[in-house]
Amino acid sequence: MVKTRLVGIAFCWVLATSGWAATSSPSLIATPPQPKWSELTVQQKIILAPLSDDWDSLEYYRQKKWLTIVARFPAMTPEEQRRIQEQMQEWGKLTPEDRQLARENFKTANQLPSKKKQELKQKWEEYSNLPESEKEKLKQQAASKPAPRPGRPAASPNIPAPSAALPSADAAHAADAPTVAADTSKP
């Protein structure tokens, strides 16, 4: 009996220290492989068309999230469908570096206290209502200033974070945590 327990403990120790039990991500354990692009149905391909070039390189858990959206897509309002499609298209246009920055921005914004989130949402709505010429002017101003890295304060507290970074957070939301919220306001 004692010998059996010792063998079992030794076996567990060998597994734990040999790397067999180690994985690079918990999502690898939790999410099984998803269908390749060529294995998707015609309806899935139509809905996910903006992600076609990247589909096979997406992590399984991201593919699973998008397939969940596809399953709900027919029941969505036309406005929700349009919004999801636009988010996929915008995400597809981002470089891998921009996508990572968008994910970091989303994670940082998601950790803000609710009061700060409300302030951010109000600023975004104000920005969204600006004329295109004013938006372009602000984008040019933001491009000329170095943007602070997500989660780190700006070099000077008097320099606001560029408003051009705000759409990235929405783009990250579209790819990392796709949901159809009751809020159908424009991103």
Confidence of residue 150 (pLDDT cuts 50, 70, 90): low
Angle at Cα 28 formed by Cα 27 and Cα 34, nearest 5°? 95
One-letter amino acid identity for 157? P
- Does the reported pTM lie above 0.75? no
Query: For 132-142, how does the pLDDT look when each residue is reduced to its tens digit (9 = 90+)?
Result: 999 888 888 88
Higher per-residue confidence, 140 vs 187: 140
How far from 98 is each of 140, 141, 163, 165, 167, CA to CA, in Å? 18, 19, 15, 10, 11
Tens of pLDDT along 9-27?
544 444 444 444 444 455 4
Separation CA 85–CA 50 (nearest Å): 7
Of the candidates 92, 102, 24, 23, the one whose C-alpha atom is nearest the C-alpha of residue 58 is 92
